[in-house]
Each structure stands twice: as structure tokens, then as C-alpha cells.
Copies of this chain bind each other. A is one copy, B any other.
């Protein structure tokens, strides 16, 4: 008697189709030299038995699984979280599973332990969402024979990389405020060791300089509404502050609250622009003008680079830049 419900293997298919298991393998991998008629017979047998190849066996012999490892910081921040689900979706569409390796901090030891875990699983490729500079040294250790794509990583690293054009986004936001008639624009940035923050700071500063506007001192914070609130309490006290560009929407939320408490009306007295376009941004008080990043595009581009590396050995260290888009709502007005 058969073992109950043992799932069928390649030889079972082969027997049913009257061929060798190797031919079944060829059909599965779309090898050219298989007669059309046999191909059809094999396909029929596969369907009849509801056969599904054993990934472990394949991984063993090829030394590579159908699994893509993602290294990301453990975070419920909107940006990173969106990035992850978008990537997972893209990978699934291409027939890959995604193994996530969250890490509390992007420091050397955490990263290399997660990378090791992924390499244990013989991942087909790695995606690293390395949004801070401190990650760089740990990432240098990744062996060069496994395909890697960075997202939001160091633009100078020379590794395949996909980023949102933070500089352009910040320029658009700053320019939008200057165009409304403001003398200058204050900026509350994210942590300065994040590449995102650095790009946004750069875009903001350059735009002011090009417009001949004075560059006010930079306020930097983490990404939280809490720190936005603290910065906002300070800014609200300064009557010369009429325009604020924040590095993300949550910071903007904190600032809106601080301004509100201090009785400074937005957008009548003070204008605010955020970054990210979180789903709630349209429901802040007032609805927030912000910069939207196309995470889906980034994810798909990253997957494309990865698949490219997996196919060809030609490792062209491409750098894809995805443009962001200004979303205009009601938090910007003309100065009094």
C-alpha cells in the first residue's frame, strides 16, 4: 500500500507520461530540445497528479533557492513598511518568495547576522534597504557572488541601487513654498545619517541658495511626530518663520499641532509641506501638501535589477532613480 498522500515526485510524473524523469525536468525548465508532443504529454501528467516541484531538492543541487532575502530595519514607519510589501508583491508575481530579515538597528553585527541567515537559506538574491550610512561597512562583507540590490543606499557605493530622487523631491517642495511668496523656508530634517535625510537637506539648501534666499539653521529630528512637535514648539515662537518643509509627514503632524497650540494658523500664517504622502495626510488639519514617493516603482525596479544579475553574469552596477511627485493640498498659503 502506498504511503498516504505523499506528494508526487518527478519520477511519478515520468512514469505516468512514459518518459524519464530527466525529460520531465527539461519540460519544467523550458529546455528547447523536447518534442512538442512529449512536452504536452508531460504537462498533462503534471496536471493530473497535481505535481509541484520540490524546491528544496532543486535548491540543493543548484545551490540556489527561489527565495529572495530582504534586509530591512524593523520598522512600522510608513516608507520602509510600504517598500517591503510592494517588493513582496513584485517578487511573488515573478515566482519568488521573500524572506524578510528585520534588524533592530542597521549596525555591523546585526546586518551581518541577518545576511548570514539569508545565505544559510541559499537565497537567490538579496535586497538591502540600507537607508543609513552606518550600514555601509557591514554591507561591504556581502560576498560578491550573490546578486544584491540596494534600496535607498549609498549613492556612491558602486553597487546596483534604486532610490527615490530625494533631492528633486525636496527641491519641488522648497520651490513650491518660495513660489508662494515666502522669503525663505525652514527645514526639519530626519536623522542626518539617513541617505533620505541627506538628499532632502541637499535639495532644500540648493534651492534656497539658487533663489538667493537666506538659508536658516537646520533643525534635525528623528522621524516621529513627537520630535516634530518639539521642533514645532520652537518654530511657533519665532514670528519670522512662515514656511516649513519637513522631512516626513509625521514630523509635519507634530508641527501642525505645535503651531495650533500656539495659535498660529496654517496656512494663513505659516505654510507647511511634508514628505511621503501617508494615507492620512489628506486628513491632517489642514490637509497636508506633501511629496509622494512611488514605492511600487522602486520595488519593481529593484526586482528587475536583481533578476538581471541572476540571469546574466554581467554585473552592470546600475543606479535607477525614481522621481517623486508633489501633491498639493491646503497647508501652503501666501505669507501675510
Contacts and interface: CB of A to CB of B under 8 A. Distances in A.
A81 to B, nearest CB: 5
A78 B253 CA distance: 16
Contacts of A226: 279, 282-283
Contacts of A55: 120-122
A300 to B, nearest CB: 14
Copies per assembly: 2
A65 B76 contact: no
A328 interface: no
A88 to B, nearest CB: 5
Contacts of A97: 99, 101, 117-118, 121
Interface in A233-287: 250, 253-254, 256-257, 260-261, 279-280, 282-285
B279 A224 contact: yes
A225 B76 contact: no
Contacts of A76: 78, 81-82, 85, 279
A52 interface: yes
Contacts of A60: 54, 56-57, 60
B279 A225 contact: yes
From A66, A75, A143, A257, residue with most partner B Cβ within 10 Å: A257
Nearest to A102: B88
Contacts of A117: 92, 97
A229 interface: yes
Contact of A65 (B56, B102, B261): B56
B52 A120 contact: yes
A67 interface: yes
Contact of A280 (B67, B98, B250): B250
A46 to B, nearest CB: 14
A5 B82 CA distance: 37
A74 interface: yes
A225 B100 contact: no
Interface string A48-60: 0000111111011
B85 A225 contact: no
Contacts of A214: none
A265 B38 CA distance: 76
Given A54-B60, A54-B122, A60-B60, 13 more contacts: A52-B116, A56-B122, A57-B60, A74-B88, A81-B85, A84-B100, A88-B100, A92-B117, A224-B279, A225-B280, A225-B283, A261-B285, A285-B285
